A and B are shown apart, each in its own frame.
Chain A
Amino acid sequence: MPLPPAAILAVILLVLGVTAVVAIAAYVVDRSTARQERKD
């Protein structure tokens, strides 16, 4: 059974949201470690 438009929108928004959170978290881990590395 095909997904209704609201469910398709929910999938897109959730996928984009989770991907953005993951990318920001990985970026923050990388930058904060690099900053600490320079400080040390």
Chain B
Amino acid sequence: MDLTHIHLLLNHFPVIGNIIGGGLFLLSLIAKSDDLKRASLVVLLGISLIAIPTYLSGNGAQDAIKSLPGVSKSMVETHEGAALVALGFMEVTGAFAWLGLWQFRRLARVPNWNLAVTLVFTLVSLGLMARVSNLGGEIRHAEIRAGQGTVTPEGALARTVGSFVTDTRWMWPTCETLHFIGLTLLLGVVFLVDLRVLGVMKGVSFASLHRLLPWAAFGFGVNVITGMLFFVGIPGQYIHNTSFYWKVALVMLAGLNALYFTLLEEPWALGPKEDAPLTAKIAAASAMVLWVGVMYCGSMLPFLGNAF
């Protein structure tokens, strides 16, 4: 199995997931059901995370088919550019979905402004992802092509951004520094929460630390943006790098783990001086292991796999 297989496996998720998540979300608004709202926000958040490896594996697939007869480089780059725009919208949707889940814990409801923003971004993401799928299909299916292939306003946007990242002297060091600041924000907060659950700082309630989670979310956001800029800049450096595969897989698992602390009652009910249940401790310990794994794989990118 290589990145082409992974891309073919994952590329339906953003579209179908958006239809399911968006449909549930619409239904929750009509039915005024808080449970349905939370379920749909979880789906939208999950899909926004899955969209990341879907995009990344696309460059691996591109590498595998670029020399095949009948494969047009410009069509591949048009698909890549459209995917970058759609990914941006999906990640914003995921960010607001997470914020809604976090706000629900604090307010016992999702504020109306967040519902409106999430709805708009979900609908736009769905449209953009459907367009990306169509452009991806055109690469290998001449029967759905119109002439030389669809022309999009953004064209080969990913290559333009990539060239800007690599050709601008201050861009890479800026992203590198911001990537570390994002990491510090994210891990600083995540480790505080996890250590409390594991029994350190027992005087502090979980709810007090829960308040810090948006700082971690913003740190994660900075890292997704800067990480994507690195990838778009020099995709070849990452698509043949085992360390990078592990890093992305561990980020996905850590994202799944984070849902436990956002959604479930167990950690939320943890008051001052109270001991966390075993499941919460396992979740906290595994989060720490996962994030250390992410850091390790990130630092080892240039040293494992000879891809740099």
Which residues of A are interface residues toward B (Cβ below 8 A)?
3-4, 7-8, 10-11, 14-15, 18-19, 22, 25-26, 29-30, 33-34, 36-37, 40
Contact = CB atoms under 8 A, between A and B. Distances in A.
A10 B283 CA distance: 41
A34 B178 CA distance: 28
Contacts, number: 49
Nearest to B226: A18
B174 A15 contact: yes
A10 B218 contact: no
B103 interface: yes
Contacts of A22: 185, 218-219, 221-222
Contacts of B169: 3-4, 7
What 8 A-B pairs are tightest by C-beta distance, nearest first? A10-B170, A7-B170, A7-B169, A14-B174, A29-B214, A26-B215, A15-B177, A11-B174
Given A37-B106, A40-B107, A30 B214 contact: yes
Contacts of A15: 174, 177-178, 181
21 contacts: A3-B169, A3-B170, A7-B170, A8-B170, A10-B170, A11-B170, A14-B174, A15-B181, A19-B178, A19-B181, A22-B185, A26-B218, A29-B99, A29-B214, A30-B211, A30-B214, A33-B103, A33-B107, A36-B107, A37-B106, A37-B107
Contacts of A25: 218
A33 B217 CA distance: 15
Nearest to B212: A30
